[in-house]
Structure 1
Amino acid sequence: QDHGCLSIVDAVTSLGGTPVKVDEWGADAIYSGTQKCLSCVPGLSPVSFSDRALEVIRNRKSPVQSWFLDLNLVMGYWGSGAQRTYHHTAPVNSLYALHESLRILQEEGLENAWARHEKNHLALKAGLEAMGIGFIVKEGDRLPQLNAVTVPEGVDEAAVRKALLEDFNLEIGAGLGALAGKVWRIGLMGHASNQKNVMLCLSALEAVLGQMKAPITKGVALDAAMAVYA
């Protein structure tokens, strides 16, 4: 912003689960997904643009190669003062689903949803760290919804994920790119961010790692998590 550049914010995992202050931050463009903390069906991507970004979009010199991604055409269909020039078939069922998801979020209260995600993250963090499992992102830079944690030394991380899914009906994500095989990604998003899931994850992970003789501290994770909920 100091240099007049446009800014864009990735809010795919954060919208609905942690404060997203678009105007206060002066974000020029922001996008999210409906399937994460909004607990809606996948397929929609809420977006917002500042006046400055809209000016750039409207005054671009070269044509957009994609009809579908041409924002000038999209704004002509959806935007303020639009002439309703046809651009695409609206995903009506998904839009109704999003409306219901937002209604449920409004009933809970946005600040309450933020607090719920934070508390469940802290409980999971307490349990994992008591076991001896750490986070790869330093505290203060983490999202409470997405917990990337280290795989204990000597553990077959894929075998752990397989056992969690088959024995406990619990699925956690693998590491991607350079982190493949080194971390697990544990999501606490939307309605799935609750105490029951936190306790299930901790007890199941401890059981599976214990069976594999992993170097963890056993018998302490659940008490550590419950101390957060007390």
Structure 2
Amino acid sequence: MSALSVLPPECLLQPFIVPKRLMLGPGPSNVPARISAAGAQPMLGHLHAETIEIMNQIKSGIQYAFQTQNRVTLAVSGPGHAAMECAIFNSLEPGESVLIAVNGIWGERAAEIAERIGAKVNTVVTSAGGYFTNEEIEQALDKYRPVVFFLTHGESSTGVVHPIDGIGDLCHKYNCLFLVDSVAALGGTPICMDEQGIDIMYTGSQKVLNAPPGTAPISFSERACYHHTGPITSFYGLRESLAILAETGLENSWKRHKEVAEYFHKGLEEMGLKLFVQDKKARLPTVTTIVAPPGYDWREITGYIMKTYNIEISGGLGPSAGMVLRVGLMGCNSSKANVDLVLEALADALKHCHKSRV
């Protein structure tokens, strides 16, 4: 045999030490120790009886989190984006009409996916930080007569939580499926799939549920599911995250996220910073958008906070790029102690970062 032409990489012959950071961006967020420990349990086969039992328990946990009795409730392998593609690809056919509400990057992303399918894509668009009234939605449903209406519940790019009540009834009035993206909102603010007439809903487990990336809960209305070789250790983590939500109680989780967000908003305003979403009722409890302080480079602020405090916060995304700072308080990270830490870091950054005279 000839000598190997590619030698073992030197970088892999040394241990890699992962730094410990407080992840207060829009996701992923920190994972509780018991979830990390769950992922380290012994491997099982994907068809072992215990794995099937875990999958059934995950299904029950998702049904609780979504507040649905839908039989077709499951976790797909992948992040929230995989769930978005799964939901759109399995609810639309080429040539069918879809209506997409665009008030941030996730509506834009949904429109791109639907276009790749070959669907007839129609949109209603509002400015970053805004949302739609039910009257505006009904006018668009009546005009375009779509088979699916897509709406982002928690728009993490702008910090908006969209009102849901009454929209499901409107969709069904016009013989349309109601598809909801709740990746950045589930568990942090109220949503009840069955009661609110939602036909398809998905989330990302690495967000508010604090499970490791790898699985994305999703619920379909009267559709078949395909079983495959699933990510077993990710199932362990997802099951544990759902167990924490069940122990906490969904209503208690909603309440805590709301109280912590309001505490944060008050602290920001006392510092003289402005919130991007003006309507208090429309502020997403899990991701707060702060108007980028005039005269500062937002990159310098986030970089200073990372370097000095080992805390991650981020800038805007999509339509909010360059306009905001985004701070995520999700799952176990939603605490007043973390709010105090990030307020201290922000105040220090504003003292030390360069402010132009423009």
TM tier, shorter chain?
0.7 to 0.9
Q: Would you say the 8 A contact 2:260–2:334 is kept in 1?
A: yes
SS in 1 for 2:281: coil
Task: Name the Cα RMSD after superposition.
Answer: 1.6
| Equivalent residue, structure 1, for 2:109 | none
Structure 2 CA distance, aligned partners of 1:18 and 1:46?
Answer: 17
**Amino acid of the residue matched to residue 350 of structure 2?**
L
Q: Would you say the 8 A contact 2:300–2:353 is kept in 1?
A: no
1:20-99 aligned within 5 A: 20-51=191-222, 54=223, 72=224, 75-77=225-227, 88-99=228-239
| Equivalent residue, structure 2, for 1:129 | 269
SS in 2 for 1:148: strand
Higher relative contact order (CA 8 A, sep 6+): 2
Aligned match for 1:202, one of 323, 338, 343: 343
Aligned length: 184
Structure 1 CA distance, aligned partners of 2:175 and 2:283?
Answer: 28
| Equivalent residue, structure 1, for 2:180 | 9
**CA deviation profile, 1:19-63 (whole Å, cap 9, x unmatched):** 121001101100001011111101211011223xx3xxxxxxxxx
The alignment status of 1:191 with 2:299, answered yes or no, reads no
- Deviation, 1:203, is 0.8
* TM-score, L = length of structure 2: 0.49
Q: Would you say the 8 A contact 1:6–1:28 is kept in 2?
A: yes
The alignment status of 1:178 with 2:313, answered yes or no, reads no
- Deviation, 1:132, is 1.7
The alignment status of 1:106 with 2:277, answered yes or no, reads no
Aligned match for 1:118, one of 237, 258, 263: 258
- Deviation, 1:133, is 1.4
Q: Would you say the 8 A contact 2:205–2:212 is kept in 1?
A: yes
Structure 2 CA distance, aligned partners of 1:214 and 1:90?
Answer: 50
Q: Would you say the 8 A contact 1:146–1:186 is kept in 2?
A: yes
Structure 2 CA distance, aligned partners of 1:108 and 1:23?
Answer: 22
Q: Would you say the 8 A contact 2:287–2:326 is kept in 1?
A: yes
Identity of aligned residues (%): 42
Q: Would you say the 8 A contact 1:158–1:181 is kept in 2?
A: no
Structure 1 CA distance, aligned partners of 2:355 and 2:347?
Answer: 9
More strand by share: 2
Structure 2 CA distance, aligned partners of 1:212 and 1:97?
Answer: 39
Q: Please list every run of 5 or more consecutive structure 1 residues that lacks an aligned counterpart in the other structure.
A: 55-71, 78-87, 216-230
* TM-score, L = length of structure 1: 0.76
